[in-house]
Structure 1
Amino acid sequence: MRKKVIINGYEYELEIQGTGKPTWLFFHGFMGSLADYQGITPTGTRIYMNLLGFGSKLKTIKQSQRFMGHQQVTDICRLLDKLSINKVNLVGYSMGARLALVFGHTVPNRVGHLVLESGTAGLMTQDLRQQRIIADGHKADHVTQVGMSTFIREWEQLPLFKSQKSMSAAQQLFMHEQRLNQNAQNVANSLRFFGTGAMPNLWPELAYMHIPVTLITGMDDHKFTQINQKMQQQLPNVQWCQVPQAGHNVHFERPDQVIDILNAIHH
């Protein structure tokens, strides 16, 4: 069932499938959409949503600060209230994993289980954050100058997505078109206000997070394997699932394994 929920003047689009417990909420990655996770169908009620500013042919969000993590968390809490949902199993991929971690840290009482796929807790030092803010600012300027088509062509050449080249032509086209249909200004403002440099550094907070966490990484994604190894060492209630023959986007490349991981979580 497709549903639209207006929060603070912005229309969020959701797809709700399944019934019963648990209730799953999925956060897609950068330049993704609710379609991103729809092949992932664990038992229970599943809510797939377009995060703020993402989705096909959207208008530009004029209040660009709305992309900041804590503002998005406030919106999503209101959205859950409107749906009369108190607690979810929250699943996020890449940018969505970063937002899911901010959500879990900010309102832990609303999360039964946190699943972070190819996520990070941010950058550890002010220097690294500043460098990343500058780099993301350049990317943001670039996307508005060259437009989505050129930006996506360059983006898809990143080493992070190399393993996706082994997917079928139809699957690669789906991913390409999902990225292509985004609003360039919203993409730019997401980078500026919720890029990895702009997100809060949550590394010092990991030791105090007591909600159960499952980390998922692809074995071919060496950068995020290293990051998640460190996260596993600091989180008190954690399991780490490393999926063979998968890169950064594990649920896209190995959906069956991700469904199995989710279904194995004890609710």
Structure 2
Amino acid sequence: MGSNKVFEHLLEDLSSFCNPITIDLAGHGQTESPNEQKYYTAQRQVQQLYSIIQRLKFGNLYLYGYSMGGRLAFQLIASHPELFSGVIIESSHCGMVSKSERTERQALDEKRAQKIEQNFEGFIKEWTTLPLFGQTPDEMKLVYNEIMKSQNPKTISASLRRFGAGVMPSVCDKISKLNLPFSLIAGKLDKKYVDRMTEIHKSLNHSNLLVVENAGHRVHADQPEEIIQILKSFVS
């Protein structure tokens, strides 16, 4: 339920060593997104990002994805690794393999989608109190809350139904065969994603795993200076 605005506090420092481009994904922020669920599949969103990259003709491009954006980054890398010089993934995963786990997550996300459609304000209140966001500084919590409130519940629920973690295809096997450099980032207080990122790290040929102290799921919000240094070192 984020948008490119959650990275605005990083852009000035990033601009000292790269040219940062932030993108609102389908159903989020200011992207013009229809309600039809077919537009939110992994394949369709990969096509959307590929189109943007082809038209803007980037060179020496690094891809950075956080959480849901990280899942989409894995999908894009699996389909078009030739576009990138490296990949940075924060608090994310490359897909669920277990059928039972996928089924359980699909059922959970359907309940969430219904709650979003029926009582979006109530859903946001519940979502923002989850422990994995507890480390986020108050000023960034306000930023996130304002972004969430501005979202369209219909497109957010459509995104959840067609690109939820239990629906999107697993690409873990595909990325394990790539020779691209990866930088994997997790907050130490977000044990679930420390474990997931550790598993991915072990499967990749060229990757660094960085577990950031005093950070939860939103490492970029919890420890922005640390994120800047990680990105600068990786791109350099």
Is 1:260 paired with 2:208? no
Deviation at 1:86, TM superposition (A): 5.0
Aligned match of 1:152: 124
Residue among 40, 45, 70 paired with 2:19: 45
| 1:187-216 deviations in Å (ceiling 9; x for gaps) | 101110111001111232232022111000
Pairs aligned (count): 232
- One-letter amino acid matched to 1:32: G
- One-letter amino acid matched to 1:111: F
- One-letter amino acid matched to 1:132: R
Q: Secondary structure at the match of 1:214?
A: strand
For residues 9-48 of structure 1, what are the structure 2 equivalents within 5 Å?
Answer: 31-41=1-11, 42=14, 43-48=17-22
Query: Is the 8 Å Cα contact of residues 132 and 189 (structure 2) preserved in structure 1?
Result: no
Residue among 188, 192, 198 paired with 2:157: 188
Structure 2: distance between partners of 1:61 and 1:160: 31
Residue among 102, 125, 134 paired with 1:162: 134
Aligned match of 2:105: 132
Deviation at 1:78, TM superposition (A): 1.0
Relative distance call for 1:97 and 1:85 in structure 2 (3 A) is: same
Aligned match of 2:84: 111
Structure with greater helix percent: 2
Give 5+ residue unaligned stretches, structure 2.
none
Higher relative CO (Cα under 8 Å, sequence separation at least 6) belongs to: 2
Give RMSD over aligned pairs: 1.5
| 1:94-113 deviations in Å (ceiling 9; x for gaps) | 00110011111110011111
Structure 2: distance between partners of 1:171 and 1:117: 17
Aligned match of 1:5: none
Structure 2: distance between partners of 1:101 and 1:144: 28
Aligned match of 2:116: 143
Q: What's the TM-score, normalizing by structure 2?
A: 0.93
Structure 2: distance between partners of 1:179 and 1:257: 25
- One-letter amino acid matched to 2:87: L
Relative distance call for 1:37 and 1:209 in structure 2 (3 A) is: same
For residues 156-235 of structure 1, what are the structure 2 equivalents within 5 Å?
Answer: 156-164=128-136, 167-168=137-138, 170-235=139-204
Structure 1: distance between partners of 2:233 and 2:59: 22
Structure with greater strand percent: 1
Structure 1: distance between partners of 2:48 and 2:60: 15
Residue among 57, 64, 68 paired with 2:37: 64
Structure 1: distance between partners of 2:196 and 2:58: 32
